[in-house]
Amino acid sequence: MEPAVLGGKLVSSLIGPLVRKLFVQDGPGAALVDRPVRLSALVSFRGEKRTLGEKEVHRLAERIVAQAVESPGEPPFPADEQAAVADALARRLLALGELEMEDVQAVRLGSTELARRLLRHAPPPVGLSTDAHAFLDSAAEWACLHILEFFTRRSSFVARTLVEQSRAQAELIAKVDELIARTPRPDARDTAFERRYLPYLADRHDHITIYGIDLRDSPDRWPLEVAYLSLEATIQDEWPRGPESAERPPATPGRLPAEEALTGGSRVLLRGDAGSGKTTLVQWLAVTAARDAGRIPFVLPLRTLVRTGPLPAPDGFLTAVSCPLTPPQGWAERVLAAGRGLLLVDGLDEIPATDRHGVRHWLRSLLAAYPGNAVLLTSRPTAVRPDWLGEEGFRELTLAPMRRAEVATFVRRWHEAARAPEYEQPLLDSLRTKRDLARLATNPLMCGLICALHRERRGYLPTGRKELYDAALTMLLARRDRERGMGAELGEEAQLELLQRLAYALVLSGRTEMDLDTAEGIVERCLPAIASASGDAATVLRALLLRSGLLRQPAEGVADFVHRTFQDYLGARYAVAEGHLDVLVSHADDTQWEDVIRMAVAQARPRERVSVLRRLLARDTPRLTLLALACLEHAAALDPGVRSEVEERAGALIPPRTKEDAKALAEAGPLVLELLPGPEGLTDEEAHGVTVTASLLGTEEPDAALAVLRRFRDHPDLDVRRQLVGTWGRFDAGVYAAEVLDHLDRTDLVLTCESAEQRATLARMRPWHRLHFRGEHRIEDILAAVPAPEAVTALTLSADPELTDLGALAPFRSLRALSVYDCPAAGGVEGLAELPLARFDCSNIAEVNGLRALRSLTRLSVNQRLPGTDLRQVLPVDAPLEFLHLDEYSIQDTRLRGLEHWTDLRTLSLGLLPAYLSADDWRRLGGLSEPAPLHLDIPELPGIRALRVYWALGTEDLSTLAARLPGLRSVSVATHLDLALSHVEALFPHARVALLQG
């Protein structure tokens, strides 16, 4: 028995006076007792004050039960149980005399718990039905509510705080009575049916069927929750004007999740191309609504409804879709009348055009009779004109093509459902590197087909590219409609003949769209050769636009193919059939013809393939040689000599063996990405060349380039790893980090972070020990991007005008190397004193006076003017420096005064040898004799092991240095010129001499 139903049968005006008879009324002096009064002392049928016996209590219970039974509406329990129920209720009321709790305790317990106490103290009833038990429990609880209300009204013992509680209790009871009076009693049969219907609907639509796929071991049905992909819908325009649009805000142009299509508006016409996910969205909305138990969904596929006769009224909805459940009479009307319905009308395009006006009239009638219900109608884009239901208040949305991230999600879920994880990553790589595949995978239907074919071929999809297109064409042109129970107006061969002529016309014109008038003319010229075609050219073209799934009308008066890949494939098919291969080869220099040529080789006869490939090789350019190589994967049968020649010529280009080769290879364009090998079987130099090529193409084809680079993420070579780190900026920061960076061996690697997006991604990666922040980054942003600053040992900050106080880097407490370049506001060097810095480099910072505080340095490089007149005035005199670099500007004022102080110095780098250094400057290092004319002389410094000369012009006289630096083991000469170093090697016979160009 529902509480609201019982409340309607036991109103307060009846049960209140009856319950009060159970208790002794207050007498004089009752407020003077010094302890609380127990319930056993209050009841009027127990103790010395007894005025009501057990018989009277039974009569009282009988009156309560009789009143409930005689009330209008459904009886609460079978009539033959009335006496037994009254007896059981009386026994529970008599149990009040057994309770030893205080009246205040009873009030605190509440009516529900007090009723449970009575149940435990009363003898259990025997032989009662479930409904009788439910009534008995509810009646006892209702009586207890009034008992507690009676207690709170006994002012002789109630304290002030309990009086306040009583007022709240009385107010609650009044509100419950008011609610009971206003709320009509729900029909229990409707509720019971909905408890069966909603789970049935959720279970029925909780699987997705992939039509047109019957490949071995491929799943054709998978759970909706596992497989559902949240697609996006584009908003076409503002809300249309209609009866329900007056108070709606205008739509915001853009995209929104498709499952939110009905949010904020109750009427939507959703358009989408073949296989775009319209029916799947209908299923998702039905399942989620059924599980949320908010609106009651009705899934109404129009192709089923029109087959069964006139479109049904609400009472015929379930029968029309073969639902085995029988609802109570008038249930659907009551649902819609209350505005609780969700009408999911699917497939307006799947019924004859002559029936669509009837659908609109049917919808108008339903919406007029039952306003307030949500309605979703799905259709292909060209089935009806824009604003077809605008007067009825329908908002128009269009399902958007899947983005790359959505494709990846679909592939992962498909393989999870198919329990085939070993094929997942290879297919994702193929979708990234094979551009024509990627262009196909733009909706769930084509993604599902690609997944199934890839698994069927055990992960070796590239050799079956032609089979992929053939299977896709067969499915879209014939099998899909047939398996969905729809007849085909044109046969598959007839549709192919028309479509390939349209495609070839587009290929020749170098366009992807044509006017409908032009398309109609092409169809008209073709019709005499097609026996199965019925109707004129306009009718046949309209059928192709509506049903083929390949041709569409993106705008008024315009036709195009849903994927450029289909245009290229069908155009190549026609070129081969008509013997136009010479035309294709003549356009080989145009990158737009690459896929057409490859598809033509796939469909050509063996001797025709030989002719095409030899003509490509004869042009003797890297790009056409690689195009010929790309054609080989489509050529199942080919002269072995021609195949060998193509592979040999391409082998000289791939893999690239030097950085220069890699750059030249990248100039051939994104086609290269499909052909790059590795890393298996490559030398370190070749692996580096492949990663350089892929990196250079990352801007043009980021997905394909990423698929190549991720194959090298476990490569041990330092140059390869540095290339992988250095190309981060060409890709989506988060994706590249997850796919490549977070897998690298980080030994000797520095990660450069240049943008806010990269900073946010860095915060999600495992710690990097060596970091470089380039550009504008506030210190607080840098710290936020490095959750574990104590793990960083080397840090570079460059070109950052926001950087001010270097002392804010104190959280990097393990920092051993810090470089600060071109940060003109940076100061506070002394704030780094507590860090364990062994190396500090600076150039163009605000001030360097704090250098004296860095006592732990062993390496120091300063590329800006030093203050003072002596190096000891500014450099850290307590630091055990072993390496010191000072450029020609650094020592304009200090010269080399005081350099002799750092006795541990092993490497001195001076950049360009400053002409202003005099002999006196050098003599201060060792008190040497007068230098020879025209030569600088320095004291002998046997501890110096390395010498670097920057910006060498080749005319420098280093003989004095050779004589005074006998301990040199390394000499580096940096220049942007092509210099010979034989004279330098002769001067330093015991040192390794290296030329640094750049």
Question: Strand, coil or helix: what is 370?
Answer: coil
Token pair of 565, please? 């890949």
For residue 966, pLDDT over 90 is answered with no
Structure tokens at 764: 């999600």
Query: pLDDT at residue 526 above 90?
Result: no
Confidence band (pLDDT; 50, 70, 90) for 566? confident
Cα dihedral across residues 449, 455, 458, 462: positive or negative: positive
**Distances, alpha carbon 347 to alpha carbons 360, 376, 389, in Å:** 13, 11, 15
Higher confidence at residue 896 or residue 812? 812
Q: Looking at the predicted structure, is the pLDDT value of residue 28 above 80? A: no
User: How far is Cα 100 from Cα 77, in angstroms, rounded to an integer?
Assistant: 33
Residue range 215-231: mean pLDDT, rounded? 60
| Range among 6-10, 317-321, 725-729 with highest mean pLDDT value | 725-729
Instruction: List, in sequence order, every residue forming a beta bridge with 399; answer none if it has no partner.
Output: 233
Backbone angles phi, psi at 820, to 5 degrees: -130, 110
Task: Average the pLDDT over each of 240-254, 441-455, 487-501 and give the range with the smallest value.
Answer: 240-254
- Full strand arrangement of the beta sheet holding 296-301: 255-257, 232-235, 395-399, 267-271, 374-379, 341-346, 296-301
pLDDT (average), residues 346-353: 78
Joined tokens for residue 437: 């595949």
- Would the pLDDT of 729 be above 60? yes
Q: How many CA atoms lie within 13 A of 201 on its CB side?
A: 28
| Token pair listed for 813 | 């407490």
Nearest CA-CA partner of 492 in 444, 451, 542, 547: 547
Residue 937: the pLDDT is: 36
Model confidence at 183, pLDDT cuts 50, 70, 90, reads very low
Q: Say whether pLDDT at 692 is over 80.
A: yes
Query: Which range, of 160-169, 239-248, 567-576, averages the lowest pLDDT?
Result: 239-248
Let me know if 379 is exposed, middle or buried by CB neighbors in 10 A (0-12, 13-18, 19+).
buried
pLDDT at residue number 64: 79
Q: Does the pLDDT value for residue 244 go beyond 60?
A: no
- For the chain, percent of residues with pLDDT exceeding 70: 77
Instruction: Give the CA count within 13 Å in the CB-facing half-sphere of 225.
Output: 6
Tell me which of 165-169, 377-381, 576-580, 605-609 is least confident: 165-169
Q: What is the pTM of this model?
A: 0.55
Burial class of residue 837 (count of CB atoms within 10 Å of its CB; 0-12, 13-18, 19+): buried
CB atoms within 10 A of CB 988: 20
Which residue(s) pair with 562 in the sheet?
none
Average pLDDT on 605-624 reads 88
Place of tokens 């698929």: 707
Give the helix/strand (H/E) hosting 507.
helix 492-509
Does residue 35 have a pLDDT over 70?
A: no
Distance between CA atoms of 728 and 747, rounded to whole angstroms?
17
Give whichever of 120-134, 212-226, 314-328, 900-914 has the largest mean pLDDT: 314-328
The reported pLDDT for the residue numbered 14 is 56
What distances in angstroms separate CA 153 from CA 97, 111, 147, 166, 557, one per listed residue? 20, 16, 10, 7, 82
- The pLDDT value recorded for residue 255 is 66
Percent of the chain predicted with pLDDT > 90: 24
Radius of gyration of the chain (CA): 43
Say what angle helices 424-433 and 444-456 make with each other, to 10 degrees.
120
- pLDDT of res. 217: 53
Using pLDDT thresholds of 50, 70 and 90, give the confidence band for residue 220. Answer: low
Cα separation, 995 vs 771, whole angstroms? 28
Higher pLDDT, 324 or 456: 324
Contact 725, 692 (CB under 8 A): no
Give me the pLDDT at residue 51, please. 57
931 versus 600: the higher-pLDDT residue is: 600
- Find residue 884's DSSP bridge partners: 860, 908
Q: How far is CA 202 from CA 249, 280, 287, 476, in A?
A: 32, 13, 4, 29
* pLDDT on residue 816: 96
Nearby residues of 543 by Cβ (< 8 Å), 6 or more positions away: 489, 490, 535
Name the most confidently modeled range: 234-238, 282-286, 512-516, 571-575: 571-575
Strand-by-strand arrangement of the 558-561 sheet: 513-515, 558-561, 551-555
pLDDT value, residue 444? 78
Contact yes or no for 832/807 (Cβ under 8 A): yes
- The residue ranking higher by pLDDT, 27 or 176, is 176
The residue assigned the tokens 């044509």 is 514
* Confidence at residue 245, expressed as pLDDT on a 0 to 100 scale: 38
Which residue did the predictor score with more confidence, 490 or 305? 305
Residue 47 near residue 41, CB atoms below 8 Å: yes
Per-residue pLDDT reduced to its tens digit, 411-433: 888 887 777 888 888 888 888 77
CB under 8 Å to 793, separation ≥6 — which residues?
769, 770, 814, 815, 816, 817
Question: Does residue 34 register a pLDDT over 50?
Answer: no
Q: How far apart are CA 946 and CA 969, in angstroms?
A: 6
- Using the structure block, give the residue that is written with the tokens 């919406």: 367
Which pLDDT band, with edges at 50, 70 and 90, does 932 fall under? very low
Q: Average pLDDT, whole number, for the chain? A: 79
Question: Cα 311 to the chain's mean position, in Å?
Answer: 40
pLDDT at position 227 is: 59
The pLDDT value recorded for residue 488 is 45
Query: 776-780 contacts: CB < 8 A, separation 24 or more?
Result: 776/800, 776/801, 776/802, 777/753, 777/802, 777/803, 778/802, 779/803, 779/804, 779/805, 779/808, 779/809
Sorted by sequence, the CB contacts under 8 Å of residue 497 that are 6+ apart come out as 526, 529, 530
Q: Which of 836, 892, 883, 838 is nearest to 864 (CA)?
A: 892
More confident residue, 889 or 227: 889
Q: Please give the Cα distance from 460 to 448 (Å, whole number).
A: 16
What average pLDDT does this structure show over 918-923? 58
Q: How far apart are CA 790 and CA 806, in angstroms?
A: 16
Residue 1 has pLDDT above 50, yes or no: no
Say what the pLDDT of residue 16 is. 62
- Most confident region among 114-118, 785-789, 911-915 by mean pLDDT: 785-789
Instruction: Please report, for residues 21, 84, 91, 94, 184, the alpha-carbon distance to residue 60 in angstroms, rounded to integers and kept in the order given.
Output: 9, 14, 11, 11, 28
Band of pLDDT at residue 20, cut at 50, 70 and 90: low
Report whether 390 contacts 238 (CB < 8 A).
no
pLDDT at 165: 61
User: Of 435-439, 559-563, 644-648, 762-766, where does mean pLDDT reach its minimum?
Assistant: 435-439
Indicate the burial class of 242 (C-beta count within 10 angstroms; 0-12, 13-18, 19 or more).
middle
The pLDDT value recorded for residue 418 is: 74
- 8 A C-beta contact, residue 12 and residue 20: no
